[in-house]
Structures are given as C-alpha cells and as structure tokens.
Amino acid sequence: MKKSGRLTVVGIGPGAAEQMTFEAVRAMEESDVIIGYHVYVDLVRDMFPDKEMLSTPMRREAERCEMAIREAAAGKDVAFICSGDSGVYGMAGLLLEMTDKYEREQKAPLSQEERIEVRVIAGVTAALSGAARLGAPLIHDFAVISLSDLMTPRSLIEKRLRAAGEADFAVVIYNPSSRKRADYLARACDILLESRSPDTVCGTVRSIGREGETKEICTLKELRNRQVDMFTTVFIGNSSTRRIGGRMVTLRGYEAERE
C-alpha cells in the first residue's frame, strides 16, 4: 500500500468566509480535495474555484465518510467540511469511528505511513454565532440539546430538557423543527415551562451569517407558539436572563441577585 493522505475534519462556521478561522481556510487550501454535504461544498466553491470537490446528499453521512477515507487512503490530502463546528452535531465522531474501523479491518496491520492521520479543526458552532447576534445569552452555564429524534429516543431528549430546566441552565436548541416534527419546539417549551417562568427571555436566529439572516427576542410563552424551521437555532434564557437595550443578556450568578 502507498502512503496515506491527511484527513482533516474542518468546521467552517455558520457559512460566511469571514466567520471561518485561518486554520480552517488553510486546511482547505492545502487539501487535494474538499468533501462535504453539497450545500456546504457550494458555500466554499467560490473560495477555491480550482479545487476538486466531492459531495453526497443529506443523510448519506456514512457514505460521505467512506468517500473521505477512500480518498485519503489513496494518498490525497482531504478536507472534510461541516458547517459550524465539526465536533458539535457534526461529522468528526463518525469519521474517527469509521477511520479506526477501516484500519482495523485491513488484512495486515498498517505501517505508520499507511495509517490515516485524522485531524479535527474546531469552528464557530451555531450556539456561539447565534448567541453573538442576540447579545450574550450563554455567558454562564448552558446546555445544548438537539430535538432531532432520528438517532435519539424522544424520552431521552425530554429528560434532558427537563433536567436543564430544573437546574436553571440557559438552553440552546439545535434542530428545533422539521416537517415531521412540527410541534417539537412547542413540546420542548411546555417541558421548560414546568420549571421556568412564561416571561423567560428567549431568542431565535435563522440562517446565521447567511443571506436573509433574521433574529427575534421574545418570551418563553411566545416562543411556544412560534413556527420555526430547521435553519433556526433557539435560545432559552435562565432565571438570570434579561432583555437589556434590545439584547438578550444572561447575568452572572450573584450579579443577578444584586438587582
């Protein structure tokens, strides 16, 4: 076998080039091929017009990882891109897992040269980029929860929402909705309303850093009846979150009590 290429999993942030890190751009620049979900590949195509790009449709995550491993094993340096951070609801986990499995399944143990070196480059996930747009909702302890039940039992999602509510975490919700899950955000709000005031300050940001970005600050009671889509990230304040000068700001611990 020949020398394998490097496999770099790159979080490209919310989408705009200026929200990428220098490290992320350099990893793409230095790669022989950029691989990703086609929407993300399209986001970087203008930046690297001459670069080979490969993509697969949505939900074909395992296929996309196999493609990346195959290219790296053939000696190419691969930049495997994800939106936001590749380590938060991204592909870094599955790729590490499948690369390890690939190496263990080879007939003979791989030499150091043949092994695929996987490197993970962090990016700005929607929790951070969305929070910046709203103000400072995550300034203190917070919990990040996805409402997607494609791979997580709904009972566990609800247990986490309840626990985060009771322990007064600020909460960020990813994947708040889809065609099949139109009422999941309302249900999540109902669970949080068991322990949190209906006046709790909340916020939503849609299409962060992309064309047509919108945001809104509202109460938990209002959020319960909002229709949001899969491009929206939802922020639910804790008992110390305030609306200050049109922003959503969580005060830090004792500061809140001094008011």
CB 125 within 8 A of CB 85: yes
Indicate the residue among 212 and 245 with the shorter CB distance to a second copy.
245
What is the distance between the alpha carbons of residues 243 and 255, in angstroms, rounded to a whole number?
Answer: 15
DSSP for 189-214, written as a single string? HHHHHTTS-TT-EEEEEESTTSTT-E
Indicate the residue among 52 and 166 with the shorter CB distance to a second copy.
166
CA distances in angstroms from 146 to 48, 113, 140, listed in the order given? 32, 39, 20
Say how many residues touch a second copy, by CB under 8 A.
74
| Residues 222-251 as x/- pattern, contact with a second copy by CB under 8 A | ----------------------xx-x-xxx
Among 169, 176, 201, 228, binds a second copy (CB under 8 A): 169
Report if residue 204 touches a second copy, rule: CB under 8 A.
Answer: no
Residues whose CB falls within 8 Å of the CB of residue 113, separated by 6 or more in sequence, listed in order: 3, 4
Indicate the residue among 83 and 86 with the shorter CB distance to a second copy.
86
Report if residue 128 touches a second copy, rule: CB under 8 A.
Answer: yes
Coil, strand, or helix at residue 122?
coil
Contact segment (CB under 8 A) with a second copy among 29-37, 39-47, 49-57, 167-175 equals: 167-175
What is the distance between the alpha carbons of residues 153 and 255, in angstroms, rounded to a whole number?
Answer: 38
What is the distance between the alpha carbons of residues 143 and 174, in angstroms, rounded to a whole number?
Answer: 11
Could you say which residues in the range 86-105 bind a second copy, by CB under 8 A? 86-90, 92-94, 96-97, 99-100, 103
Could you say which residues in the range 49-88 bind a second copy, by CB under 8 A? 85-88
Least distance from C-beta 21 to a second copy, angstroms? 5
Among 5, 11, 36, 203, binds a second copy (CB under 8 A): 11
Output DSSP code: residue 147: -
Number of neighbouring beta carbons within 10 Å of residue 255: 11
Report if residue 132 touches a second copy, rule: CB under 8 A.
Answer: yes
Least distance from C-beta 10 to a second copy, angstroms? 10
Among 124, 205, 220, 236, binds a second copy (CB under 8 A): 124
- Report residue 193 CA to chain centroid gap: 25
Tokens of residue 122, six digits? 């962090």
Supply φ then ψ for residue 247, to 5 degrees.
-110, 165
Indicate the residue among 178 and 221 with the shorter CB distance to a second copy.
178
Report if residue 253 touches a second copy, rule: CB under 8 A.
Answer: yes
Please report how the helices 184-193 and 154-166 are oriented relative to each other, as an axis angle in degrees rounded to 10: 40
Among 4, 7, 20, 76, binds a second copy (CB under 8 A): 20
Among 43, 143, 188, 191, binds a second copy (CB under 8 A): 143
Least distance from C-beta 44 to a second copy, angstroms? 13
Report if residue 30 touches a second copy, rule: CB under 8 A.
Answer: no
